[in-house]
Chains A and B, each alone.
Chain A
Amino acid sequence: MAVKGQRPHALTDVPFHYCPGCTHGIVHRLVAEVIDELGCEGKTVGVASVGCSVFTYNYFNCDMVQAPHGRAPAVATGVKRARPDNVVFTYQGDGDLAAIGAGETVHAAARGENIVAIFINNAIYGMTGGQMAPTTLPGQVTQTTPYGRDVKTAGNPIRVCEMLSSLDGVALAQRVTVDCVKNVKQAKAAIKKAFQYQMEGRGYCIIEVVSTCPTNWGLAPQDAVKWLRENMLPYYPLGVYKDIGEAKE
């Protein structure tokens, strides 16, 4: 019997705890497929952040370190500096990467640390039950912006790829999404390029994945995808914000 598809080796045989319709599962699979294709599982170290994705340390077959909230870029820096031959990636949500860990993110990027950040932007805090994130859209209702995010008092959302693209240490900053087959393929290509850049020692790479959180958005999975297309993508346009280009021989 021909095998048409199977679990990537880099994913453990453990059921995800994610809610139905959450895009974490797709992104996990893409990262694992890239690790498989590059044959780097044995030398990869992943850094889990705090938030819904904290349990990534159970889901990836490579060695994993769980970092304090927001500190994944610093922990990854420590791993990479200690073991330069390892392939090191962080997997962080928007609260982790752009709020409490904004400082660590900016400075890891500015240093051009040879790490990859997989950044899940779903405009809300998932694990704690749906509070405002640094990427929550203006007017968006969350548990802590019950009347909609008023930018006059709650501040403005942060466009992370745009912000980081000005830093010289950044090799690749690309925003993708996984709402359809075409975009899933594009997301995987971006993640693969980021891992390849790291293996070539090119600098900090961030792949921002505009994602859904049906549970905390209060929407059915298919409605969440619709909401993402209608509200998230206009505010967070997909695209390559920085790419230093293929290595020249």
Chain B
Amino acid sequence: MGERVLMKGNEAIAQAAISAGCRHFFGYPITPQTEVAAYMSKMMPKVGGVYLQGESEVASINMVLGAAAAGVRVMTSTSSPGISLMSEGISYIAGSDVPCVIVNVQRGGPGLGGIQPSQSDYFQATRSTGHGDFHLIVFAPSTIQETVDLVNKAFDIGDKYRMPVMILSDGMLGQMMEPVVLPEETNTAKDKPWAACGHQGKRKHNVINSLYIDPNELERLVRERFEKYKTIQATEQMAEEYMTEDADIIVVAYGASSRVSRSAVDMARKQGIKAGLIRPITLWPYPVDTIKKVAKTAKVFLSVEMSMGQMVDDVRLAVNGAVPVEFYGRTGGIIPTPKEVYDQIVRLNGGVQ
């Protein structure tokens, strides 16, 4: 392992990508993620990599498509409005079965919204980051160290399944500093016999494509992709449980809001309230197994989000009516305080005994 250093979240994302063997970065400036690009522009020339500022998010994600098609590890980073612009390219990347890592340091929306932290792109990340039937693998870190670890994992899992992976961060995690241990760089070059990088006269030409005029062929390919998704749903779910074993009230929160919720659970425990926390780490595949298991013993779930209620739908689907599912959220760039979440826990508990 490397040395322990103090790093800003956005810079840690960039360094983690470089450590994971990423030597190609294409992006466009947008607050609050611009430090990722700035760090890449500083470091890539030093490690023999490519940093290129595209003329737009639209161009940048298509540069990612080109580099991914050519078989290299590639990443882009943006914030909410930028993901909207990238949606077209992300759909093509998914439809072309090429791997890449896409970072969304979320800010408030809709429209130009604001520049403060938000979690209001959950639907966009997990439901439809572009047109058509497809999914991204979505990781939601809650600390800088976890961000680093998940960026590393994102490249591996993307290569493994040949699909785009999103790091769903937010303005708080992007801008704050924490100590991290960066992983040592290992040999990350993967053999990609499908890549479009010149056949050198040694094989048939490779075609990276998402167009299938014959509906039967298109349906077959989409179904094949969904078989792959089933495997991912069965094997790649990740969640952290905190004091859930005896808990009656289960808070479900990811990313920045999970840090607040954890403090709220601690406050509740001090008052003798049996509260616990499930923190989804993969938002797609959603950790339904953990939720289902805990739903057998819990009395009520509370989804806490920095949105008007998006992940709560997935909690409800997983709980499937077994117990009530409630929601508490702040939006527009407001981070809920531990006290606010604690008050919700107390309300669900019917007060403090």
Most buried by A among B63, B209, B210: B63
A155 located at the interface, meaning its Cβ lies under 8 Å from any Cβ of chain B in the complex: no
Q: Among A57, A78, A85, which residue has its beta carbon within 8 angstroms of that of B74?
A: A78
A104 at the interface (CB under 8 A from B): yes
Number of A residues near B (Cβ < 8 Å) is 37
Q: Which of A58, A67, A78 has the most CB of B within 10 A?
A: A78
Report yes or no: B207 in contact with A57, Cβ–Cβ below 8 A: yes
* Stretch among B48-56, B145-153, B327-335 lining the A interface: B48-56
Q: How far is the CA of A71 from the CA of B61 in the complex (A)?
A: 10
How far in angstroms is the closest Cβ of chain A from B192?
Answer: 11
B70 and A83 contact, CB distance less than 8 A: yes
Residue among B60, B88, B96, B207 facing the most chain A CB atoms (10 A cut-off):
B207
| A187 CB within 8 Å of chain B | no
Say whether B205 faces chain A, with CB atoms less than 8 Å apart. yes
Report chain A residues within 8 Å CB of B92: 67-68
Residue from the list B50, B59, B200, B208 in contact with A65, Cβ < 8 A: B208
Is the Cβ of B198 less than 8 Å from the Cβ of A74? no
Q: Which residue of B lies closest to A40 (CB)?
A: B198
Cβ of B124 under 8 Å from chain A? no
A45 to B199, CA, bound (A): 9
What's the least CB distance linking A141 to chain B, in Å? 29
Residue numbers in A under 8 Å from B54 (CB-CB): 74, 107
- B279: which A residues are within 8 A, CB to CB? none
**B51, closest chain A residue (CB):** A81
List chain B residues, Cβ under 8 A from A86.
70, 197-198
Chain A residue with Cβ nearest B204: A61
Contact with B along A189-202 (1 / 0, CB 8 A): 00000000000000
Cα(A63)–Cα(B210), bound, Å: 15
Which B residue sits closest to A50, measured CB to CB?
Answer: B211
B134, chain A: closest CB distance, angstroms: 14
Q: Which residue of A lies closest to B70 (CB)?
A: A82
Q: Which of these, B52, B58, B66, B205, contacts A76 with CB under 8 Å?
A: B66
Across the interface, which residues of A come within 8 angstroms of B64, CB to CB? 78
Q: Which residues of the partner chain A approach B66 to less than 8 Å between Cβ atoms?
A: 47, 65, 67, 74-82
Number of A-B contacts (CB under 8 A): 143
A67→B20 CA distance, assembly (Å): 27
Q: Which one, A41, A64, A71, contacts B58 given CB within 8 A?
A: A71
User: For chain A residues 45-59, which have a beta carbon within 8 Å of chain B?
Assistant: 45, 47-48, 54, 57-58
Q: How far is the CA of A223 from the CA of B175 in the complex (A)?
A: 65
Q: Does A204 contact B (CB under 8 A)?
A: no
Instruction: Determine if A42 is an interface residue (Cβ-Cβ < 8 Å).
Output: yes
Q: Which of A61, A75, A106 contacts B62 (CB 8 A)?
A: A75
Tell whether, in the assembled complex, residue B63 and residue A42 are in contact, meaning their CB atoms are under 8 Å apart. Answer: no
Task: Given A78-B64, A82-B66, decide whether A107 and B207 contact each other with a Cβ distance below 8 A.
Answer: no
Mark each residue of chain A from 20 to 63: 1 if its CB lies under 8 Å from any CB of chain B, else 0.
00000000000000000000011111011000001001101111
Given A43-B198, A62-B205, A63-B198 in contact, is the A78-B211 Cβ separation under 8 Å?
A: no
If A42-B198, A104-B58, A107-B54 are given as contacts, then 11 extra A-B residue pairs at C-beta distance below 8 Å, sorted by A number, are: A42-B200, A43-B198, A44-B198, A65-B65, A65-B66, A74-B60, A79-B66, A81-B50, A82-B74, A83-B70, A107-B55
Interface set of B (CB-CB < 8 Å, partner A): 24, 26, 50, 52, 54-56, 58-60, 62-72, 74, 88-89, 92, 96, 195-202, 205-211
A and B contact pairs by CB, cutoff 8 A, 24 listed: A42-B200, A43-B200, A44-B198, A45-B197, A47-B66, A57-B209, A58-B207, A61-B205, A63-B205, A65-B65, A65-B66, A66-B207, A71-B88, A75-B66, A78-B26, A78-B63, A78-B65, A78-B70, A79-B67, A82-B50, A82-B74, A83-B72, A103-B56, A104-B55
